[in-house]
Structure 1
């Protein structure tokens, strides 16, 4: 693109940002003199772009009101951010089930992308997966994604997923420890408001799930790895969270259907299994299922189990039994109460002064 043409387009971008721009400001941003700025404005006027001249001490140029913007010029990272936002918005239901605006916007952007970038973005969109939306501690659905990670890291990982190539990553864990790892990436997953990559850590020969915003650098390595067997990337991420190491290991037996349990303990929180023990079920269609989970704190579990409203047994830890019993005592005391307790009389602050 000829340099004067590029400067004219840059001038248009500056005016599109809104407000009035002085000639001196535009000249500095474009690296030209004031006379050249006026010549570039004339070029925009010839293209039917309504540039208005504003007189006075703080005068300059601005776009006319109601001007319909021409097609936007996006860089690689900008295009990536827009497309990811559209995909995540559709997945989270933010664009509405009947809306086609997201689809048409995606198609317009992809149609004008350079071929090399279009191929890389196709690799990225083909490598994305999303877990089921889960309910957070406050009862609200967790968002699918909050922000976009580094574009270079994301595109490198997407290429590696598509072509099954190992990558070298620099990672910072939740304790702040930095490490260099070789990862065989299986997929990129949006889960509970963040982006993750799941794959095999070649250094320890174990599957790992890494947060993308904690990856500072990603570099493709020579070679390839075989396709993984077993569950898909989204299932691996959910399973990894449910079995991650935390302070408390919890085992429950709950007489309920999987659907009833999942309404309160989603797959990202607990692993369910049928122990096969059918004794004493009394003909009910609800079996005793074992739920295993790990938690940093136990205080949130008793209210969840109370809301489940199904018979349950706490197999471990004993501390959870104590918390459940304490909640039951508080609920029973509240149920027996017929009026609010009177406020206790204030304690005297000290002996009365001698008369």
Structure 2
């Protein structure tokens, strides 16, 4: 947890003990100056916690009479599920909020847990390791995500301001059929007024969203996840990669939505198509198929594969 977030929660804990606390006294206990104490009090007000400022010689800060944070009763498994969910979602890049907000939320859960359970959970997170690095995906605005979720559930159109990959901005009306998390990013999919077709939009590129009047109907057989994956597989990229592979479609084990597999004129082969901004990661992907393949396009991929193979061979010969 970040120190500012911890101190805001520490201020709340002090105020919950009752009485009026002067700014100098709070500053001393929190290890900050009086101006920072005022800012922390404002943070609590933003969270709709009724902090009162008392003027006069014996003035300071206190909580409104009768206010008390509600207790949070969680079993060991429930507490572990909440905190692990926060950590896992943040590492996967799926949190529609800043790291500060995520850590502050986790800290609030910890502070209302029984001391024994909190100590055990702290020990777990202090000693647990991860085999993969945390993703640093762009973060969608929480307000945008929540608004689009509401529009999706209520079957109401949404007005959005969207910036495409080139930075070009446009305003359009979307019928949000569903929200989908994929590969560390959030997407919304549905018919789009600008194109009149089914479209997929990244939430972190939506600068503004507003729910409009009206309604729509989602087809019974519509699959939001499938629509997003199909859209991503067909999106324009710098390189169109086409590789013929000797094998069957069942033998081609690639992440879902990364590529399409089609029959080839030769029944013993299939054609794998995918799009990429860079080619440097394609050789390892092809090697992982463990099947004979022929590169059809782009021609420059052949040189990239040869260089990759030579580098691997050189590593084998190195002590």
Q: Normalising to structure 2: TM-score of the pair?
A: 0.60
Deviation at 1:155, TM superposition (A): 2.4
Counterpart position of 1:53? none
Q: Do residues 266 (structure 1) and 255 (structure 2) align?
A: yes
What's the offset of the Cα at 1:329? 5.3
What does residue range 141-220 of structure 1 map to in structure 2 within 5 Å? 149-220=140-211
CA contact (8 A) 1:166 1:222 kept: yes
| Separation in 1, partners of 2:83, 2:204 | 16
How far apart, CA to CA, are the structure 2 residues paired with 1:140 and 1:39? 45
Output the CA distance in 1 between the equivalents of 2:237 and 2:35: 60
Q: Measured at CA, do residues 24 and 330 of structure 1 come closer, stay the same or move farther in structure 2, by a change above 3 Å?
A: closer
| 2:225 counterpart of 1:239 | no
The 3 A distance-change label for structure 1 pair 298 and 20 is closer
SS at match of 2:213: coil
What is the match of residue 301 of structure 1? 282
Gaps of 5+ in 1: 1-7, 48-68, 74-82, 95-104, 110-138, 282-287, 341-355
Asked if 1:19 is matched to 2:30, the reply is yes
Say yes or no: does 1:315 pair with 2:296: yes
Shift of 1:333: 7.2
The alignment's TM-score, normalised by the length of structure 1, stands at: 0.54
Render the CA deviation track for 1:297-354: whole Å, top value 9, x for unaligned: 223212322233211122222222333344445656777x6x89xxxxxxxxxxxxxx
CA distance in 2, matches of 1:169, 1:213: 12
Task: Show the counterpart of 2:59.
Answer: 37
User: How far 1:233 moved relative to its partner?
Assistant: 1.5
Q: 1:296: Cα distance to partner? A: 1.7
- Indicate conservation of the 8 Å contact 2:54/2:62, yes or no: no
Does the 8 Å CA contact 1:11/1:26 hold for their aligned counterparts? no
Structure 1 residues 251 and 141 mapped into 2: Cα distance closer, same or farther (>3 Å)?
farther
State the number of aligned residues: 247
After TM superposition, give the deviation of residue 294 of structure 1 in Å. 0.9
**C-alpha displacement of 1:267:** 2.1
Deviation string, structure 1 residues 76-115 (Cα, Å, up to 9, x no partner): xxxxxxx998766577999xxxxxxxxxx99xx9xxxxxx
Out of 209, 212, 215, the residue aligned to residue 221 of structure 1 is: 212
Contact kept? 2:240, 2:273, Cα under 8 Å: yes
Residues 54, 61 of structure 2: 8 Å contact kept = no
- Note the alpha carbon deviations across 1:268-307, whole angstroms, 9 max, x for none: 32112344743xx4xxxxxx33211011222321232223
Give yes or no for contact 2:137–2:185 (8 Å, CA) kept in 1: yes
Partner Cα distance (1:23, 1:328) in 2: 63
Could you tell me how far apart the structure 1 residues matched to 2:305 and 2:32 are? 65
Task: Check conservation: 1:242, 1:267, Cα contact below 8 A.
Answer: no
Whole-angstrom distance in 2 between the partners of 1:329 and 1:147: 35
Q: How far off its partner does 1:25 sit?
A: 7.5
Deviations 1:111-163 (A, max 9, x none): xxxxxxxxxxxxxxxxxxxxxxxxxxxx94875x9676333322221121112
Q: Offset of 1:203 from its aligned partner? A: 1.6
- 1-structure distance, mates of 2:186, 2:143: 14
Contact map agreement 1:84 1:148 (CA 8 A) in 2:
no
